[in-house]
Amino acid sequence: MRIIFIGDIVGRPGRLMVHRHLAKAIKEFNIDLSIGNVENASGGFGITKKNMKELQTYKLNVMTSGNHIWDKKETFNFIDEETHLLRPINYSSLLPGKGVYIKEIKGEKVAIINLMGMFSMPSVDNPLVAIDKELENLKKENIKNIIIDFHAEATAEKRTLLMYLKGKVSAIFGTHTHIGTDDLEIRENTSYVSDVGLTGCNDGVIGMEDKAPIERMLKGISSKFSINRNCDKIFQAIIFDIEDGKSINAFKIKAFDEGEFHKSLETDC
């Protein structure tokens, strides 16, 4: 099976780039399942039901998230109903929603897991302990195709997860920093990249206008972050192939504004 994973979709510009490029990528690269991180999809903070439905019309099948998933309070009211919208499994069990989505593709079950790191993040359970428990559950169901969105700040924390789970899961893709990294690899049949990168404005700071981040850095005081809708835009994603739970090929694609896809060199096992 071939799967596409889209980096953090930020605001209306990010949704526009999904609209412009996802269906085209699905056709061009023969994609069987699409996944995207949507925790910044509504104004840069959280996701509304309206915007979630909008992204579904663009052929986004599964939506992962992270620390901003609760920023739109309406999310508390609908996340239990939307099984394809995930929140990190290691958030408190008192919170609504699920962190795992299971779907059958070409006669095989695939599990998508949302997991969050601990460094510089809200309080969550230890991700290694949480993922061990979840993998044990999936093993009982004989599910071998397992994809993890690891939403974390530190690249070392993400790399540690790879070393812990290599050979046990199909793919681990980092999100949260919005800065695409150049370390895509397949290690012991597990695809990995520290951060997929953002989909949205490419001419500010992590998808936001640069004024507030500059003000914060100059004066040490918080300013409200906002999104410039008239910006240079980027679409970033990883495409990878799985056979019998093992990643056998992976590559990154980018597209700028309405341009064509730029494809990285393929990484095989």
Q: Is residue 186 within 8 Å of 247, Cβ to Cβ?
A: yes
Going by C-beta distance under 8 Å and a sequence separation of 6 or more, which residues neighbour residue 9?
15, 17, 18, 36, 37, 38, 40, 41, 55, 198, 199, 200
Q: Is residue 196 within 8 Å of 175, Cβ to Cβ?
A: yes
- For the question of residue 21 being annotated catalytic, the response is no
Tell me the residue type at 224.
K
d(CA 45, CA 163): 31
Opening angle at CA 161, ends 157 and 163, nearest 5? 115
Q: Which of 19, 21, 68, 176 is catalytic?
A: 68
Residues that are catalytic: 68
